[in-house]
Structure 1
């Protein structure tokens, strides 16, 4: 059974980069969100069993998305993919329930390792 995956990033190029990096053998339905509000909408529509989330987006940033998901006790597995590598940011996303943090630019090998680590492969 396919897993619903939302890729939330304001950059279409970054969303495509995540899509290309996903393991081919992983059975997923991919959904896109160009800002945090769309990411929350995707979650509320059941389209985000797994969410790849950028931190810097318009309308609602990744931290706000994580705070919202944390408040409603969401069951989505969130993996943050961001160029914001400050230790404070990485610690904050983990406190808000992110399963992992991957630094941009995205390395497909690291992504696969993270997916194994959180039990998705």
Structure 2
């Protein structure tokens, strides 16, 4: 499965990669901001996107909005330290498939992927 991990922190991207279950057989592409994420998506590097909210250039809210406007079926899992109910509600309204709080654990990753039927 083509996985796109979007976060301005290289350490956070690494943690997401470590949390991916082996059965996903993930081919991972990384992006450091929303614009890089859109470019990678357009290049065909994503079947599922793990998206941070707070990033430079283009934040996760705007990235999610543009992705879903372009492809309503895009599978986006938001991973963020911003666990305020308003942020979670907003990403759901924008079309996120799931919301996982940072730091992500393998258990939380598996639960999110099960919730949306990917494993």
For structure 2, list consecutive stretches of 5 or more residues without a partner in the other structure: none
Matches of 1:25 and 1:62, distance apart in 2: 27
Partner of 2:89: 91
Equivalences for 1:1-121 in 2 at 5 Å? 3-121=1-119
Aligned-residue offset at 1:57 = 0.5
Give the structure-2-normalised TM-score. Answer: 0.96
Report the more deviating stretch, 30-39 or 105-114.
Answer: 105-114
Aligned-residue offset at 1:73 = 2.7
- Report how many residues are paired: 119
Q: Deviations over 1:8-27 (max 9, x none)?
A: 00000000000001112221
Cα pair 2:19 2:109 within 8 Å, conserved? yes
Matches of 2:71 and 2:29, distance apart in 1: 21
| 4+ residue segments displaced more than 3 Å | none
The 3-state SS of whatever aligns with 1:90 is helix
Q: Deviations over 1:31-65 (max 9, x none)?
A: 00001100011111111110000000010000000
Matches of 1:98 and 1:90, distance apart in 2: 9
Give the structure-1-normalised TM-score. Answer: 0.95
- Please, what is the CA RMSD of the aligned residues? 0.9
